[in-house]
Structure 1
Amino acid sequence: MSRFTEEQNLFRQSYRKFLETEIAPNMDKWREAGIVDRSAFKKAGDLGFLMIWPEEKYGGMGDSDFRYEQIIIEETARVGCHEWFNTLHSRLVGTYFERFGTEEQKERFLPKCVSGDTILAIAMTEPGAGSDLAGMRSTAVDAGDHYVLNGSKTYISNGLNADVVIVAAKVGSASERHSMVLLIVERGMEGFERGRNLKKMGMPGQDTAELFFHDVKVPKANVLGVAGRGFYQLMEGLAEERLISAVGTSSNARRAFDLTRAYCMDRKLFGKTLADQQNTQFRMAEMDAEIDLIQVYVDHCVKALNEGRLNANMAAKAKMLASEIEWKMLDLGVQLHGGAGFMDEFPISRMFTDARINRILAGSSEVMRLIIGRDVFSNRYSSMLD
């Protein structure tokens, strides 16, 4: 039975055409510029491809089925347009408004997010606080009808493009490590400044920036959720964030496999194609099996998310395994391409450097192992088959 409904398959066809005509042809110039043009978000919004889940009164389809986002992620990976962080905007950040936003906030922000007029980002990471969010130093001081925000953030995706940034900051005393607030910071607020577009190992087309906050007055109307509960609100979204990563990395692994397979069937060595060599067959057979198996588990997690059953342990397993399998496939892909794999003109080369971040972002593989390991030795442990 298909993973997707007939309506979703039609959506896939339409979205694939959109990517092939509007996004993929522009990626090289956007990589050169170091940023995806804002028009990409606007064009996607105009066609209903940017946000699916918001209710119709906010401009969306009102369908919360994560499989629509799965299609978007899979197709974006298929054509090599992952540097356009549309899912960060649409599903990772946007759903914070659904979970914690007031009706006034939803009415104020969601329609323009759906249309692509407003681009979203989230700012958690600091120079001394990545996976350990409790170590952040940005502060928000209650000043009556507003908060005064001070601090800095780094490695923020969509950092230059974003019009609205959800910023996490400490409230209360220094001893209250988990007392945080999520603030909706808007472009143009006095004291909100952006640093440089950071140079990265890969993904040059994705704008990744430093953000600075100097006595930024954020009105209480821009508090997202409950002040003091920000840490737990962030934790609530992490499982879905890690599933988003797993969908993308498993899809990228399959693309790397397909590219490598095609190259091996064409490239000749000692009078035979690489595909005729037993070593190539064995290594590629192993990867084909591993990619298929992680796809099954990712689909299982998508179903669990739709049913409200996805937990931190399941998402950590998906995120860790998918990113590790992706890296294994990309390393093999470069190796089987030989010298060509080192050349930027071959997609496998760019994919290799772009993907190195995937075992770090949304929680490193080491942190995922910690989460899984703690669950293994807890009283609540149960396997997928229980």
Structure 2
Amino acid sequence: MQTEEMNLYRDMTIRVLTKEVAPFYEAWESDGQMPRRLWNTLGAAGLLGVDMPECYGAAEVSFDVAQMVLEEISRMGFGGLASGLNIHANIVMPYILTYGSDEQKQQWLPDLISGNAVGAIAMTEPGAGSDLAAIRTRAVRQGDSWFINGSKIFITNGLHADVVIVCAKTDQQAGAKGISLFLVDTRMPGFSRGPGIKKIGQHASDTVELFFDDLLIPHNALLGEENCGFAYLMQELPRERLGVATQAVGSAEGALALTLDYVQQRKAFGKSIADFQNTRFKLAEIKTRIEICKAYLNQCMRLYQAGQMNSHEASILKLSSTEMQCWVVDQCLQLFGGYGYTQEYPISRFYLDARVQTLYAGTSEIMKEVIARGMINKRETK
């Protein structure tokens, strides 16, 4: 929805990214992480948690604006930053706002919004990905405290995180129903981080393994109710997958813009590549797939804002948008020819950054299983 508020925030977002991110992003990609101060810069510019309540220091604008910020970051080719911001502002903050106590909200939300604190969420383990019931990280209650032992892997923002939402087993016999969530202050003894994990894409997004060795935290670090963690995770999936889909659409649009510019300038056999029918047909296919996904994304955003979006729709959105993104950037890179395979041209970063989108927040295979299960169960109840 194009409103005056949306246009103002879009202009501001582009200005901040152009000045504070674009000139340095290649260096951050080489370093394998963004500088910690960037979070303060984004917070000072009002780009972190823009839809959070004003009482915590945010602008309290619409959810559409929050998604637009993520879309613009993705469109400009900053995939690592987009993933980090999605975790920080689109996942961690809503969890705390929805399930946190007043004390937890006051402790963390103002600092997350200002960038004085960085947030991460820790679910995946070396032996447990989408199957959360198989996690081995344990939290044992002792008096007014909890002892946490275990490890997590592939944690975005893990290197800079000041607070981590940790998913741990609190009832070993209850499977997924024995999971709880904890707000872990990373300054606590017993918390440690591994070195940055080297990835094929999204290099600027720091990704690490986290370790908990008799980590002692107070009882009030429990987020929400004990043994309700899995239910919370399922309830928050629609927003998480909306964020991933927004990244997918924004990135696909950015890749198409680069390609349109290139094919009109590049010459072959005495004419521009854009004059060849194959190029024109391919561009038409790309545009069509993006627009179809964007339409469904907008539909899901309306459902989400009305409190009507379910996991079935979120899975369809996540599957379709991320598969579209991977196809689009592959087709765009092909139109660049050999230059697309070089780091000199940004299309190569769009290509590499896209690959993880069908893996995190639920693999494409898991999405298909959820979608099919919903179809079959719906048919059986008729």
Deviation at 1:318, TM superposition (A): 1.1
Q: How many residue pairs align between the two structures?
A: 379
The aligned amino acid for 2:55 is K
2:317 — aligned with what? 318
Residues in 2 aligned to 1:375 and 1:43: alpha-carbon distance in whole angstroms: 43
What does residue range 1-386 of structure 1 map to in structure 2 within 5 Å? 3-63=1-61, 65-84=62-81, 85-379=84-378
Contact 1:66 1:305 in 2 (8 A): no
Contact 1:20 1:79 in 2 (8 A): no
Deviations 1:170-189 (A, max 9, x none): 01124534311111111221
Q: Secondary structure at the match of 1:252?
A: helix
Deviation at 1:302, TM superposition (A): 1.1
Please provide the CA RMSD for this pair: 1.4
Q: Secondary structure at the match of 2:21?
A: helix
Q: Secondary structure at the match of 1:165?
A: strand
Deviation at 1:66, TM superposition (A): 1.6
Q: Secondary structure at the match of 2:335?
A: helix
Deviation at 1:62, TM superposition (A): 2.7
Residues in 1 aligned to 2:49 and 2:67: alpha-carbon distance in whole angstroms: 12
Deviations 1:212-255 (A, max 9, x none): 00000111111000111111111111111111100110111111
Residues in 1 aligned to 2:378 and 2:186: alpha-carbon distance in whole angstroms: 47
Residues in 2 aligned to 1:251 and 1:381: alpha-carbon distance in whole angstroms: 38
Deviations 1:301-344 (A, max 9, x none): 11111111111111111111111111111111111111001000
Q: Secondary structure at the match of 1:320?
A: helix
Residues in 2 aligned to 1:54 and 1:255: alpha-carbon distance in whole angstroms: 27
Residues in 2 aligned to 1:151 and 1:171: alpha-carbon distance in whole angstroms: 13
Deviation at 1:353, TM superposition (A): 1.1
Change (3 A) 1:380 1:14: farther
Change (3 A) 1:303 1:266: same
Deviation at 1:80, TM superposition (A): 1.6
Deviation at 1:199, TM superposition (A): 0.4
TM-score of the superposition, structure 1-length normalised? 0.95
Residues in 2 aligned to 1:95 and 1:278: alpha-carbon distance in whole angstroms: 47
Contact 1:146 1:218 in 2 (8 A): yes
Deviation at 1:380, TM superposition (A): 7.0
Deviations 1:249-293 (A, max 9, x none): 011111111111211111122222211111111111111111111
TM-score of the superposition, structure 2-length normalised? 0.96
Residues in 2 aligned to 1:176 and 1:366: alpha-carbon distance in whole angstroms: 22
Residues in 2 aligned to 1:238 and 1:336: alpha-carbon distance in whole angstroms: 35
Residues in 2 aligned to 1:87 and 1:256: alpha-carbon distance in whole angstroms: 20
The aligned amino acid for 1:20 is T
Contact 1:127 1:153 in 2 (8 A): yes
Q: Secondary structure at the match of 1:151?
A: strand
The aligned amino acid for 2:75 is R
Residues in 2 aligned to 1:112 and 1:380: alpha-carbon distance in whole angstroms: 47
The aligned amino acid for 2:259 is T
Residues in 2 aligned to 1:170 and 1:328: alpha-carbon distance in whole angstroms: 38
Structure 1 residues not aligned, in runs of 5+: none
Structure 2 residues not aligned, in runs of 5+: none
Contact 2:148 2:213 in 1 (8 A): yes
The aligned amino acid for 1:351 is F
Which of structure 1's runs of 4+ aligned residues deviate more than 4 A?
A: none
Residues in 2 aligned to 1:209 and 1:125: alpha-carbon distance in whole angstroms: 11
Q: Secondary structure at the match of 2:71?
A: helix
Residues in 2 aligned to 1:22 and 1:300: alpha-carbon distance in whole angstroms: 33
Residues in 2 aligned to 1:57 and 1:69: alpha-carbon distance in whole angstroms: 17
Identity %: 39
Residues in 1 aligned to 2:291 and 2:197: alpha-carbon distance in whole angstroms: 35
